[in-house]
Amino acid sequence: MAKSTKNLIGGRRKSSPQLTEAEWVIMKVVWENEPCAAGTVQEILQHNKNWAYSTVKGAMDRMVEKGFLKIDRIRNLQLFSSKISQEEAKKSEFRKMLKRAFDDALTPMMQFLLENENFSQKELRQFRQLIEKAERNRTTPAKK
Residues 21 and 74 in one domain: yes
* β-bridge mates for residue 141, sequence order: none
Using DSSP's 3-state secondary structure scheme, residue 33 falls into: helix
Identity (one letter) of the amino acid at 106? Answer: L
Q: Do residue 69 and residue 13 come from a single domain? A: yes
- The range of the structural domain enclosing residue 109 comes to 105-144
Task: Please report, for residues 1, 18, 32, 93, the alpha-carbon distance to residue 86 in angstroms, rounded to integers and kept in the order given.
Answer: 20, 12, 10, 11
For residues 38 and 92, what is the distance between their CA atoms, to the nearest angstrom?
Answer: 25
Q: What is the pLDDT of residue 138?
A: 87
pLDDT of residue 12: 29
Q: What pLDDT is stored for residue 51 in this prediction? A: 95
Last residue of a domain, one of 82, 116, 135: 82
How far is it, in rounded angstroms, from Cα 99 to Cα 89? 15
Residues 75 and 111 in one domain: no
> What CATH number has the domain bearing residue 31?
1.10.10.10
Residue-by-residue pLDDT tens, the chain, 144 positions: 444 433 333 332 345 568 999 999 999 999 999 999 999 999 999 989 999 999 999 999 999 999 999 999 999 999 999 999 999 999 999 999 999 999 999 999 999 999 999 999 999 999 999 999 999 998 766 655
Instruction: Identify the bridge partners of residue 79 per DSSP, sorted by sequence position.
Output: 72
Q: What pLDDT is recorded for position 139?
A: 77
User: pTM to 2 decimals?
Assistant: 0.75
Letter for the amino acid at 80? F
Q: For residue 100, what pLDDT is reported?
A: 95
In a domain, 93, yes or no: no
Query: Strand pairing partners for 16?
Result: 5
